């Protein structure tokens, strides 16, 4: 059972609220330099930089939604997460290393089957990899899809990462249902 959260505090939107965090010395030096150049205090510069970052992220998402459609943008973000997971054990980019590339291809084939509502394909292991190891690697690549599926099916109380919320926000109800009902490979079999 998830632990109850403390109720969110309410603030006057015009008031300043405390926010504390640590940064590396090099980052602080850059912020100090930017504050001096702009004539703002250090904290005003930090706030300005954070606001710009949030606006840039929103603008990027809006541009991608407009260019590709909200659902396709969600699928692209999910594919990006899966590609990142395929990269996890390789010193080389996944597209230059045959094993991570094969893992990603298998994970994407399964993801596409889930999205399209077709039968999940059996993807055979490459010759140099045992079947058990292969299943584990493909399941690890599918972790982002599995985490979203677990959230949609109620097995997980909250999305695993912030990006999941952006993906979920862009999925159609039909896609949400397909992902929630998917029988995905597990890393614990």
Confidence of residue 185 (pLDDT cuts 50, 70, 90): confident
The number of helix segments (H) and strand segments (E) in the chain equals: 8, 0
Query: Are residue 141 and residue 121 in the same domain, yes or no?
Result: yes
Question: CB burial class (10 A; 0-12, 13-18, 19+) of residue 30?
Answer: middle
Residues 41 and 92 placed together within one structural domain of the fold: no
36 domain-assigned: yes
Whether 138 and 120 have beta carbons less than 8 Å apart is answered as: no
pLDDT in tens, 45-98: 898 888 887 777 778 888 888 988 888 888 888 888 888 888 877 788 888 988
pLDDT at 2: 63
Does residue 11 surpass a pLDDT of 80?
no
Rounded Cα distance, 178 and 172, in Å: 10
Containing structural domain, residue 169:
69-181
**How many other CB atoms sit within 10 Å of the CB of residue 65?**
16
Q: Is residue 168 part of a domain?
A: yes
Kindly report the average pLDDT of the chain as a whole number. Answer: 84
pLDDT in tens, 146-171: 888 888 888 888 877 777 888 888 88
Looking at the domain assignment, is residue 11 inside a domain? no
Cα 29 from chain centroid (whole Å): 30
Percent of the chain with pLDDT over 70: 94
> Can you give the pLDDT at residue 1?
57
Q: Identify whether residues 85 and 47 lie together within a single domain.
A: no
Same domain as 29, residue 109: no
Number of domains in the chain: 2
């Amino acid at each position: 059972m998830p632990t109850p959260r403390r109720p969110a505090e309410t603030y006057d939107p015009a008031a300043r609220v405390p926010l504390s965090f640590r940064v590396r010395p090099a980052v602080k030096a850059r912020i100090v330099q930017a504050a001096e150049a702009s004539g703002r205090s250090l904290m005003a510069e930090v706030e300005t930089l954070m606001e710009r970052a949030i606006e840039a992220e929103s603008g990027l998402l809006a541009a991608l939604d407009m260019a590709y459609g909200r659902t396709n943008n969600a699928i692209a973000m999910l594919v990006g997460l899966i590609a990142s997971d395929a990269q996890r054990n390789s010193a080389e980019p996944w597209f230059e290393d045959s094993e991570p590339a094969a893992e990603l291809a298998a994970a994407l084939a399964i993801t596409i089957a889930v999205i399209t509502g077709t039968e999940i394909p059996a993807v055979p292991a490459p010759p140099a990899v045992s079947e058990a190891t292969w299943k584990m690697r493909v399941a690890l690549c599918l972790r982002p899809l599995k985490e979203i599926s677990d959230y949609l099916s109620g097995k997980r109380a909250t999305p695993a990462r912030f990006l999941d919320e952006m993906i979920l926000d862009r999925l159609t109800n039909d896609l949400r249902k397909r992902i929630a009902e998917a029988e995905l490979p597990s890393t614990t079999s």
